[in-house]
C-alpha cells in the first residue's frame, strides 16, 4: 500500500506552521494567555496551550479517575467525600465514574470548573452496557439478531439517555471473544466469532458516538483490552494464556474494529498476557494499539487494574505500579490513585518522560474540548432535557423490537408455535416469569424494576385465558405442593408455557458458574408437566447459554429468551403469538454438557478428527457425549422453513486480485413469511499455520415470503481469505479453500475453489 508521502508531508508542515504562526499572531494580539479557551482555535493548539500552563500535579489529576457512586469493584481504597473535594479544587481529579444524573453532575462539575485554578471540566463515565433507563436485551442477546442497524439504534438510544443524564462516556462496547459460558461476562459480548464480533463492535461504537457533535452522543470504550474472555475455567479475573496467532486471529480483531470505528477510549483488562498484566503490557498498549492501529484516543484502566499489578506479582508497590503502567502506554487510572500519588515524584526522579505524560494528558484534554465542555461544562446536565428523554414510549418500542429480534427458536416440534389464537387456554408456569428482580443482570443501569414488563405481564396482555403457577421458588427449588399446583393448571389448559433458566442476578461480572445445567428443581417440574400429556413450550431466560440436554425430551418447543430488559414480556409475547416470526441465530455454541466447554464452531481439525459417523477408536472424542454441541453457532429456527440449493462459484480458479462470487438459492418452503440469516464460511484447507474448520466471512439477512425464493451472491476477496501470522502480519496463501453456505455453521452446502 503506497502512502502519498508528499500530501501527508504537506499536512505535517502545515500543522507545524500553524502551531508556530498561530500562537505568535495571537501573542502579538495579547490573546495568548487565554488561547486554550478560544473555540475558534484548532483543538490540537488548544491542547498544547493548556498543557503549557499545567503543573505536573494538575497533569496527574487529568490521569486520575475516582469512583463517586455505586461500587463496581472492590471498595478497597475508597476516597472520602472530603478528600475528593480537596482533590477536585486542587485540580487532582480529571474524571468520575458512577456519578450520574443531570443535577448531580452539574453540581460536581461546578466545583471543578469554578473552584480549581485552571477550571478544566470533568468527564463523567458510567457502564451503559445495554441501556441507561430503558434496558435493552443484553449484548449477547442483541448480537443474536444479526441486525447491525438494530444494534446501532439500541446504542443510540442508550447513549441519548446517558447523555441527557449528565454522562459523557460509556464503558462499552465490551469486545471480548469468549467460548466459555461458565464466564458470567459472556452476556456483555458478541459471542465466539471474531468476524461478527468485529461488526458488532463497530455498530455499537457508531451508535454510542455518532459524530460526537450532539448532546446525545457519548464517548465509547473498547474493552477489555485484551483477551479477557479467555480466562481459564471461565473463572472471572483468572489467568489468560493464548498463543500469539490465536491472539491475532481470534481475540484482537473486535478491538481493532472498534478502534478503527473511531472509539474514543480503550480500557485495560484485568488479566495478564504473556505473563504481563494488560495495564503494564507495552506490546498491547504501545506496539499494537498505538503504533500498529494508530489509536489516537486515550486508555483508561479497569477498576484498580493498575494497583492489581501488585497482587499479580508484576509491581512492587504503587509507585512501581504508576511507573510500569504509564511507561507501557496506559493513561487514565481508575481508582488506584497510584498516578496522582506518585507521578510528580517519578518525573522529578527522571524515571518518566514528561513527553509521554503530555501525550496521555493531551489525549484526554482533546476529548474534553471535542465534547464542547470548555465552552459549556454543563452542556450534558440539563434537568428538563433529562426528564423529557428517559424511558419514553419511543425508547420502549425500540427495546421491544430489539427483544423480538434476539429470541432464538431452538425447537418447534409439529409447528406448535406460534400460538396465534388469543383464545388459547395457557398455563404459564415458572417463578421467573413473574419476578422482576430476576429479569435483569448487574449492568441494569439506572432502570427501575417497576418499569419492567415480565413474561407474565406480556402474555397476560395477549391471551385471555391464562393461569399462573410458580412451579419452583426463587432458589429454583420445587416441592410436591408447587408441582401439584402447576400440574393442576396444566391439566386444565390447552398448552403449557414454562419459564425456566437462571436468574439475571448471576449474570455479568464476578458471576462465574461451574454448573450451567438447568436447575434440578426445574427439570423435576418439567418431567411432572410432561406427564400431563399437554404440549409444553419452554421459555429459557439466562445471561449465557445453559445446558439444555435434559430439557429437550420434555418439551415440544424451546425459545431462548436470554435477558431482554425492560420490554421482556412484550417481546416474548409478540414471538409466542407469531406477531414476530423469530429470526435470531445464536452467536455462542450451546454445549451438550458443561464438560464439553470450551466448545465452539471455529475450532481446529486436530490430527485425529472425529470421523462422521463415529469410527472405532483412537480419535479426538469423549466416550460419554458427542463432539458436536447441542446447538451450533449460527443456529436458530423460524416458524417457516428454508431450503438451500445451487451453491455455485464463478471462478473455480481464483487469482489473488480477483473477487470470487458465491451464489446460492434460498427458498421459503413453509407457510409463514420470514427472514433467514444466510451465512458463508470458509476453510483454508492447507496453510502455514492450521486454520479453523470453518470461519464466518459473510452473511445476509434476507426476507422471503411463503413460497418465495431468492438467489443471493456474496463477494469474497483476498481480505476474506487471509489470516494473521504470530507477528500480526496479514498472510494470504495460495491453495484450496472450502466454501460453506447455510442457515447455521453445521447444516451447510459445500464447494471448493483454488487460489492461484
Ligand atoms: C468493572 C468492569 C468494567 C467496568 C468498570 C467500571 O470492574 O470490569 O467492565 O467498566 O469496572 O465500572
Q: How far is the CA of 99 from the centre of ligand 1 (A)?
A: 14
For the residues 152-180, what does the mean pLDDT come to? 98
| Nearest atom, ligand 1, residue 224 CA | 9
The CA-based angle 571-577-578, given to 5 degrees, is 90
Whether 581 and 702 share a structural domain:
no
Q: Are 717 and 672 in contact (CB under 8 A)?
A: no
Q: What is the pLDDT of residues 700-726, one digit of tens each?
A: 999 999 999 999 999 999 999 999 999
Q: What are the C-alpha distances in Å from 167 to residues 215, 268, 393, 464?
A: 10, 21, 22, 43
Parallel, antiparallel or unpaired: strands 723-724 and 730-731: antiparallel
pLDDT exceeds 70 at position 665: yes
pLDDT of residue 77: 82
Q: Which residues pair with 661 in a beta bridge?
A: 715
Q: Where are the beta strands (DSSP E) in 149-275?
A: 169-170, 221-225, 265-268, 272-273
Neighbours of 370 (CB within 10 A): 13
Domains of the chain: total: 2
Whether 423 and 536 share a structural domain:
yes
On whether residue 456 sits in a domain, the answer given is yes
pLDDT of residue 6: 40
The full DSSP string for 352-406 is: S-HHHHHHHHHHHHHHHHHTTTTT-TTTT--HHHHHHHSS-HHHHHHHHHHHHTT
| Nearest atom, ligand 1, residue 174 CA | 9
Domain span at 496: 403-596
Q: How far is the CA of 129 from the centre of ligand 1 (A)?
A: 10
Q: How confident is the model at residue 31 (pLDDT cuts 50, 70, 90)?
A: very low
Q: Are 181 and 506 in contact (CB under 8 A)?
A: no
For the residues 556-585, what does the mean pLDDT come to? 98
Whether 505 and 592 share a structural domain:
yes
Q: Are 177 and 194 in contact (CB under 8 A)?
A: yes
pLDDT of residue 1: 37
Question: Virtual CA dihedral for 370, 372, 375, 381, nearest 10 degrees?
Answer: -150
Residue 527: CATH number of its domain: 3.40.50.1700
Q: Cα separation of 718 and 152, whole Å?
A: 28
Q: Which residues pair with 174 in a beta bridge?
A: 223
Whether 588 and 674 share a structural domain:
no
Whether 591 and 706 share a structural domain:
no
On whether residue 535 sits in a domain, the answer given is yes
On whether residue 296 sits in a domain, the answer given is no
Q: Cα separation of 515 and 238, whole Å?
A: 17
The CA-based angle 270-273-276, given to 5 degrees, is 80
Whether 580 and 674 share a structural domain:
no
Q: Are 64 and 339 in contact (CB under 8 A)?
A: yes
Q: Cα separation of 79 and 82, whole Å?
A: 8
Give nearest CA residue, ligand 1 atom 12. Answer: 72
Pocket test for ligand 1, best of 278, 302, 305, 333 (most atoms within 8 A of CB): 302
Pocket test for ligand 1, best of 266, 306, 307, 509 (most atoms within 8 A of CB): 509
Question: How far is C-alpha 318 from the chain's CA centre?
Answer: 31
pLDDT of residue 11: 58
- Residues framing ligand 1 (Cβ under 6 A): 72-73, 97, 127, 171, 223, 302-303, 509
Helix (H) or strand (E) holding 730: strand 730-731
Q: Cα separation of 225 and 233, whole Å?
A: 19
Q: Which of 180, 193, 236, 302 is catalytic?
A: 302
Q: What is the mean pLDDT of the chain?
A: 95
Whether 522 and 436 share a structural domain:
yes
Among residues 563, 596, 629, the one where a domain terminates is 596
SS3 620: coil
Q: Are 703 and 667 in contact (CB under 8 A)?
A: no
Q: How far is the CA of 664 from the centre of ligand 1 (A)?
A: 44
Whether 446 and 505 share a structural domain:
yes
For the residues 312-326, what does the mean pLDDT come to? 98
On whether residue 691 sits in a domain, the answer given is yes
Q: Cα separation of 556 and 468, whole Å?
A: 19
Q: What's the full length of the chain, in residues?
A: 756
- Which residues are CB-contacts of 451 (< 8 A; sequence separation ≥ 6)? 391, 566
pLDDT exceeds 90 at position 75: no
For the residues 223-247, what does the mean pLDDT come to? 98
Q: How confident is the model at residue 21 (pLDDT cuts 50, 70, 90)?
A: low
On whether residue 143 sits in a domain, the answer given is no
Judge whether 302 counts as a catalytic residue. Answer: yes
Within 278-375, where are the H helices? 282, 309-312, 318-328, 338-348, 354-370
Give nearest CA residue, ligand 1 atom 11. Answer: 303
Q: How far is the CA of 333 from the centre of ligand 1 (A)?
A: 12
Residue percentage of the chain with pLDDT more than 70: 95
Residue 647: CATH number of its domain: 2.60.40.10
Whether 588 and 682 share a structural domain:
no
The full DSSP string for 378-390 is: TTT--HHHHHHHS
On whether residue 473 sits in a domain, the answer given is yes
Within 210-312, where are the H helices? 244-246, 252-260, 282, 309-312
- Which residues are CB-contacts of 289 (< 8 A; sequence separation ≥ 6)? 225, 259, 266, 295, 299, 329
Among residues 561, 596, 631, the one where a domain terminates is 596
- Which residues are CB-contacts of 163 (< 8 A; sequence separation ≥ 6)? 215, 216, 217, 218, 380
On whether residue 315 sits in a domain, the answer given is no
Helix (H) or strand (E) holding 198: helix 194-209
pLDDT exceeds 80 at position 3: no
Q: How far is the CA of 72 from the centre of ligand 1 (A)?
A: 6
Q: Are 314 and 280 in contact (CB under 8 A)?
A: yes
Give nearest CA residue, ligand 1 atom 8. Answer: 302
Residue percentage of the chain with pLDDT more than 90: 93
For the residues 396-422, what does the mean pLDDT come to? 97
Give nearest CA residue, ligand 1 atom 10. Answer: 171
Q: What is the pLDDT of residues 321-373, one digit of tens each?
A: 999 999 999 999 999 999 999 999 999 999 999 999 999 999 999 999 999 99
pLDDT exceeds 60 at position 175: yes
pLDDT exceeds 50 at position 554: yes
Whether 735 and 587 share a structural domain:
no
pLDDT exceeds 80 at position 22: no
Q: How far is the CA of 298 from the centre of ligand 1 (A)?
A: 16
pLDDT of residue 94: 98
Q: Are 301 and 326 in contact (CB under 8 A)?
A: no
Question: How far is C-alpha 457 from the chain's CA centre?
Answer: 28
Q: How confident is the model at residue 696 (pLDDT cuts 50, 70, 90)?
A: very high
Whether 592 and 475 share a structural domain:
yes
Among residues 567, 596, 625, the one where a domain terminates is 596
pTM: 0.95
Q: Cα separation of 330 and 665, whole Å?
A: 50
Neighbours of 282 (CB within 10 A): 14
Helix (H) or strand (E) holding 6: helix 5-28
pLDDT of residue 76: 80
Whether 657 and 557 share a structural domain:
no
On whether residue 738 sits in a domain, the answer given is yes
Residue 698 phi, psi (nearest 5): -170, 155
> Among 743, 718, 744, which Cα is nearest to 731's?
718
pLDDT exceeds 70 at position 30: no
Buried b / exposed e over 396-406, threshold 16 CB at 10 Å, is bebbbbbbbbb
Q: How confident is the model at residue 2 (pLDDT cuts 50, 70, 90)?
A: very low
pLDDT exceeds 80 at position 181: yes
Q: How far is the CA of 58 from the centre of ligand 1 (A)?
A: 25
Q: Are 495 and 574 in contact (CB under 8 A)?
A: no
Amino acid at each position: 500500500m503506497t502512502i502519498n508521502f508528499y500530501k501527508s508531508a504537506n499536512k505535517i508542515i502545515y500543522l507545524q506552521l500553524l502551531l508556530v504562526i498561530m500562537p505568535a499572531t495571537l501573542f502579538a494580539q495579547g490573546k495568548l494567555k487565554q488561547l486554550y479557551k478560544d473555540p475558534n482555535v484548532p483543538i490540537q493548539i488548544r491542547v498544547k496551550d493548556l498543557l503549557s500552563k499545567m503543573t505536573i500535579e494538575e497533569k496527574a489529576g487529568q490521569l486520575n479517575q475516582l469512583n463517586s457512586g455505586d461500587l463496581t469493584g472492590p471498595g478497597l481504597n475508597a476516597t472520602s467525600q472530603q478528600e475528593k473535594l480537596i482533590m477536585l479544587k486542587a485540580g487532582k481529579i480529571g474524571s468520575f465514574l458512577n456519578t450520574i444524573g443531570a443535577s448531580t453532575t452539574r453540581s460536581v462539575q461546578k466545583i471543578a470548573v469554578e473552584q480549581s485554578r485552571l477550571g478544566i471540566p470533568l468527564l463523567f463515565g458510567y457502564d451503559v452496557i445495554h441501556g441507561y433507563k430503558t434496558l435493552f436485551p443484553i449484548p449477547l442477546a442483541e448480537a443474536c439478531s444479526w441486525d447491525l442497524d438494530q444494534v446501532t439504534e439500541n446504542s443510540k438510544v442508550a447513549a441519548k439517555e446517558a447523555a441527557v443524564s449528565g454522562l459523557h462516556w460509556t464503558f462499552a462496547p465490551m469486545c471480548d471473544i469468549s467460548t466459555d459460558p461458565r464466564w458470567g461476562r459472556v452476556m456483555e459480548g458478541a459471542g465466539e466469532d471474531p468476524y461478527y464480533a468485529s461488526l458488532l463492535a463497530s455498530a455499537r461504537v457508531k451508535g454510542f458516538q455518532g459524530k460526537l457533535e450532539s448532546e446525545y452522543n457519548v464517548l465509547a470504550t473498547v474493552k477489555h483490552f485484551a483477551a479477557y474472555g479467555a480466562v481459564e475455567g471461565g473463572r472471572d479475573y483468572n489467568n489468560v494464556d493464548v498463543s500469539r496467532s490465536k491472539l491475532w486471529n481470534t481475540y484482537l480483531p473486535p478491538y481493532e474494529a472498534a478502534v478503527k470505528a473511531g472509539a474514543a477510549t480503550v480500557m485495560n483488562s484485568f488479566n495478564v498476557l504473556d505473563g504481563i498484566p494488560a495495564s503494564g503490557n507495552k506490546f498491547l498498549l504501545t506496539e499494537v494499539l498505538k503504533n500498529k492501529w494508530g489509536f489516537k484516543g486515550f486508555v483508561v484502566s479497569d477498576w484498580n487494574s493498575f494497583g492489581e499489578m501488585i497482587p499479580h506479582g508484576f509491581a512492587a508497590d504503587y509507585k512501581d505500579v504508576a511507573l510500569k503502567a504509564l511507561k507501557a502506554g496506559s493513561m487514565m487510572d481508575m481508582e488506584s490513585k497510584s498516578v496522582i500519588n506518585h507521578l510528580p515524584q517519578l518525573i522529578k526522579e527522571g524515571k518518566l518522560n514528561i513527553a509521554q505524560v503530555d501525550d496521555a494528558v493531551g489525549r484526554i484534554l482533546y476529548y474534553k474540548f471535542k465534547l464542547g465542555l470548555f465552552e459549556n461544562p454543563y452542556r450534558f446536565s440539563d434537568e428538563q432535557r433529562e426528564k423529557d428523554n428517559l424511558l419514553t414510549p419511543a425508547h420502549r418500542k425500540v427495546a421491544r423490537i430489539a427483544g423480538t429480534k434476539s429470541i432464538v427458536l431452538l425447537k418447534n416440534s409439529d409447528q406448535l408455535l406460534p400460538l396465534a389464537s388469543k383464545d388459547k387456554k395457557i398455563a404459564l408456569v415458572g417463578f421467573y416469569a413473574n419476578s422482576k428482580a430476576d429479569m435483569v443482570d448487574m449492568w441494569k443501569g439506572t432502570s427501575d424494576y417497576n418499569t419492567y414488563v415480565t413474561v407474565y405481564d406480556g402474555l397476560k396482555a395477549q391471551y385471555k385465558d391464562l393461569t399462573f403457577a410458580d412451579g419452583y421458588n426463587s432458589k429454583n427449588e420445587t416441592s410436591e405442593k408447587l408441582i401439584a399446583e402447576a400440574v393442576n393448571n396444566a391439566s386444565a389448559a390447552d398448552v403449557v408455557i414454562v419459564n425456566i433458566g437462571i436468574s439475571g442476578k448471576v449474570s455479568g461480572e464476578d458471576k462465574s458458574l461451574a454448573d450451567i445445567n438447568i436447575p434440578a428443581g426445574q427439570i423435576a417440574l418439567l418431567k411432572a408437566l410432561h406427564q400431563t400429556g399437554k404440549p409444553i413450550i419452554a421459555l429459557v431466560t439466562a445471561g449465557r447459554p445453559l445446558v439444555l440436554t435434559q430439557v429437550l425430551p420434555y418439551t415440544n418447543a424451546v425459545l431462548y429468551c436470554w435477558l431482554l430488559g425492560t420490554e421482556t414480556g412484550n417481546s416474548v409475547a409478540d414471538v409466542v403469538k407469531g406477531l414476530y416470526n423469530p429470526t435470531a441465530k445464536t452467536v455462542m455454541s450451546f454445549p451438550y454438557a458443561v464438560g464439553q466447554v470450551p466448545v465452539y464452531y471455529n475450532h481446529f481439525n486436530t490430527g485425529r478428527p472425529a470421523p462422521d459417523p463415529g469410527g472405532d477408536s483412537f480419535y479426538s472424542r469423549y466416550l460419554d457425549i458427542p463432539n458436536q454441541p447441542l446447538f451450533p453457532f449460527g443456529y436458530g429456527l423460524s416458524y417457516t422453513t428454508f431450503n438451500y440449493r445451487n451453491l455455485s462459484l464463478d471462478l473455480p480458479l481464483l487469482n489473488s486480485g480477483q473477487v470470487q462470487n458465491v451464489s446460492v438459492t434460498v427458498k421459503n418452503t413453509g407457510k409463514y413469511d420470514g427472514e433467514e440469516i444466510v451465512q458463508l464460511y470458509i476453510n483454508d484447507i492447507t496453510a502455514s499455520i492450521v486454520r479453523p474448520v470453518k470461519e464466518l466471512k459473510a452473511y445476509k439477512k434476507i426476507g422471503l415470503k411463503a413460497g418465495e425464493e431468492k438467489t443471493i451472491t456474496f463477494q469474497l476477496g483476498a481480505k476474506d481469505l487471509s489470516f494473521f501470522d504470530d507477528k500480526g502480519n496479514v498472510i494470504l496463501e495460495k491453495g484450496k479453500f472450502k466454501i460453506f453456505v447455510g442457515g447455521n455453521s453445521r447444516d451447510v452446502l459445500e464447494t471448493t475453489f483454488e487460489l492461484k
